[in-house]
Amino acid sequence: MAVKDNELVEIVTKFVESGWDVIEKPSKTWLADNGENVQTRNSTIELIKAVEQADKECGTCGCEFDPLYKRALSLLRSA
């Protein structure tokens, strides 16, 4: 697994641990599907949507997740 993949898994794991429905469930699904090409593609699309929504709703509040939303989106889109 590449360094950026490890970084993405760490970020998505934090999203799961957040307890926030907007990103928790899509993050769990993405982690569970990691490695299955078709499922990963579908769960990646859903995760991108969820992270975009989370960033829109909370991306400037000053919490520890603010920079993680942007970094996750960058990593997910470059995959």
Question: Are the C-beta atoms of 74 and 11 separated by less than 8 Å?
Answer: no
Q: What is the pTM of this model?
A: 0.86
pLDDT tens per residue, range 57-73:
998 898 999 999 999 99
First to last CA, the chain: 12
Question: Is a pLDDT exceeding 60 seen at residue 35?
Answer: no
**Rounded to an integer, what distance in angstroms lies between the CA atom of residue 27 and that of residue 40?**
11
**Rounded to an integer, what distance in angstroms lies between the CA atom of residue 2 and that of residue 6?**
6
- For the chain, the average pLDDT equals 88
